[in-house]
A and B are shown apart, each in its own frame.
Chain A
């Protein structure tokens, strides 16, 4: 009985306690530890004792061309993929925004790329891109275009990877925008129809402005995930050819689990945090200013 009283009085602390403890153990502590490791010369190869080196790892990182290459590629990949996903995603949502037979089936099909395991998807697209036997070059040949080297050339590797991301995540934008469309007020439309506005004018002057907050949030969420893309890139190219698709995530991974240079890797991770965190702050600010 007493225990029940105790729980009732302290419910607001007792209920979240296990979850909060778990997050502190598995997230906060590791992140702080990563900061600490980034200030040491820790690696698994040299057997010497771990010593504190201050900002050396950061200074070395700032002199490393691979680091700048990785930052540039991370943004190139994210902007290309998310930009096209947004355009296609919104167009698809606007088209599907009416009642028709089989709408649920269409929505189900749009969900498939989202739930399909990325590793399996990455490997399958590797086969499509295969220069001699792949479908991609076969399709180009049908159109009379000479085949590409897709993943094997510096110029095409990022766009090829972005295409997989676009295939997988465009439906996410569509579904978010469709949900947003369902919640729009009807009055402005009725007024516009009375005024004799044409469908495209309605979309441009009424629908899109009303949808702006939803689209912005979708883009922000998708960008944060795209910045962190790992599975697809690691499986399809591991950052190659050379370093032509080595994004920050892949760079940090190869420093840590390829070379086991934990100190240097941690410094690059702190840079990655900073970038993702910056995007999160922008996201939260946007959420507030849009009153969403």
Chain B
């Protein structure tokens, strides 16, 4: 009995040893966001303190984070929805007709360094006055979301039985009818995986927004980055801003944990 208890304690000690390094920096960001500047720079570090909401107040009242939060949401939701709209039918066709070449072609978008598109985009978007518009940002973020969505959905459609389609066709459905009435309704889990990942990647995107956005469409990652260009860094505000950006991603992950894991590890485990 005692031996069993001891081995249990040892086991959970080992688990703690594994997760603490991954958890601690996040814990420190959250706790610093409730500190004053002098509490943050205190040495030795303060473990117990009276939390203040000043940093959050500053971030939302003086720094307009509400607007950036909205910009980030519009761009992440917009690019995800549009990518789903054109990506799911494409994935269906690629899976049904085994169009390998097209599949690989779309995968290349996932592997290419993002910066390789930035110069032409910048030149082109400047010419047609699209810099600092939602259109340009949504389109650029779609290049990240679309390949993810297509590849997740190809895998998902590959796993569905073909007989479904045959029986729908016998019932008088067209092919596209079978897709809409039979395949789409049972693709919920795949679509959820694709949607969550596409949203997260757009939400976290920095490079495309850095070049293509300015005052009107500035997203959260750019807003927080601008904080540190001042001579004296107000660390409390930076940490509060970091919490504001990271929190939605974490909440989403908490709700859709299974789907996030599936999306991130897929393709690596099965082909």
Does A146 sit within 8 A of B, measured CB to CB? no
Which of B55-63, B95-103, B186-194 faces chain A?
Answer: B95-103
Contact call A123/B224, Cβ cutoff below 8 A: yes
A86 contacts partner chain B, Cβ-Cβ < 8 Å: no
Q: Does A252 sit within 8 A of B, measured CB to CB?
A: yes
Say whether B238 contacts A123, CB under 8 Å: yes
- Chain A nearest CB from B255 CB (Å) reads 11
Q: Are A120 and B224 in contact (CB under 8 A)?
A: yes
The distance from the CB of B13 to the nearest CB of chain A, in whole angstroms, is: 12
Residues of chain A within 8 A (CB-CB) of B92 are 15
For B114, list chain A residues within 8 Å (CB): 228, 230
Within 8 A of A (CB), among B47-94: 85-87, 89-90, 92-94
How far in angstroms is the closest Cβ of chain B from A236? 10
**A8–B117 touching, CB < 8 Å:** no
| B-contact bits for A250-261, CB 8 A (1 contact / 0 none) | 001100110000
Residues in chain A near residue B90, CB distance under 8 A: 15-16, 18-20
A38's nearest neighbour on chain B, judged by CB, is B119
In the complex the two chains form, is A31's CB within 8 Å of B117's CB?
A: yes
Q: Is A265 an interface residue (CB 8 A)?
A: yes
Inter-subunit contact B120/A37 (CB<8 Å): yes
From A54-62, A153-161, A168-176, A192-200, the one touching the partner chain is A168-176
- Indicate which residue in A114, A127, A224 contacts B235 across the interface (CB closer than 8 Å): A127
Q: List 25 A-B contacts (CB under 8 A).
A: A12-B99, A15-B89, A16-B90, A23-B106, A23-B109, A26-B117, A26-B140, A33-B120, A92-B18, A106-B18, A108-B254, A108-B257, A112-B253, A116-B204, A117-B203, A119-B206, A119-B221, A120-B224, A121-B242, A123-B228, A179-B265, A221-B268, A224-B111, A266-B119, A287-B271
Q: Among B93, B204, B224, point to the contact of A16 (Cβ < 8 A).
A: B93
* Residues in A neighbouring B85, C-beta threshold 8 A: 18
Tell me if B261 is interfacial: C-beta within 8 Å of chain A: yes
Q: List B contacts of A227 (CB < 8 A).
A: 113
Minimal Cβ-Cβ distance residue in B for A236: B228
Q: Is B121 an interface residue (CB 8 A)?
A: yes
Distance between Cα atoms of A23 and B150 in the complex (Å): 12
Which one of A102, A118, A175 contacts B264 once the chains associate, using CB atoms below 8 Å? Answer: A175
Q: Type the 1/0 row for A93-131, where 1 means its CB is closer than 8 Å to any CB of B.
A: 001100010101011111111111111110111111000
- Alpha-carbon gap, A7 to B188, bound state (A): 24
Interface on A for B, CB 8 Å cutoff?
4-5, 7-8, 11-12, 15-16, 18-20, 22-23, 26-27, 29-31, 33-34, 37, 92, 95-96, 100, 102, 104, 106-121, 123-128, 132-133, 135, 138, 167, 170-172, 175-176, 179-180, 183, 214, 217-218, 221, 224, 227-228, 230-231, 234-235, 249, 252-253, 256-257, 262, 265-266, 269, 272-273, 276-277, 280, 284, 287, 292
A115 to B249: give the CA distance in the assembly, Å: 6
Consensus secondary structure, chain B interface? helix
A-chain residues with CB within 8 Å of residue B159 when the two chains form the complex: none
Q: Does B108 contact A (CB under 8 A)?
A: yes
Chain B proximity of A288: nearest CB distance (Å): 9
Complex alpha-carbon distance, A253 and B206, angstroms: 13
Q: Mark B102-135, 1 if CB is under 8 A from A, else 0.
A: 1011101101111111111111100000000000
11 additional contacts (CB under 8 A) given A115-B260, A252-B115 = A8-B176, A15-B89, A16-B94, A22-B142, A37-B120, A106-B18, A119-B206, A123-B238, A127-B40, A183-B269, A257-B211
Alpha-carbon distance A229/B228, docked complex (angstroms): 20
**Given A19-B87, A31-B112, A110-B19, are A12 and B93 also a contact pair (CB < 8 Å)?**
yes
How many whole Å from A78's CB to the nearest CB in chain B?
13
What chain B residues lie within 8 Å of A110 (beta carbons)? 19, 22
Query: Of the candidates B94, B119, B220, which one forms a contact with A37 in the assembled complex, judged by CB atoms under 8 Å apart?
Result: B119
Do B143 and A26 touch across chains, with their CB atoms under 8 A apart? yes
Tell me, yes or no, whether B161 is within 8 Å of chain A by CB. Answer: no
Q: In the complex the two chains form, what is the Cα distance from A252 to B118 in whole Å?
A: 10
- Hey, which chain B residues are within 8 Å of A176, CB to CB? 264-265, 268-269
CB distance from B244 to the nearest CB of A (A): 9
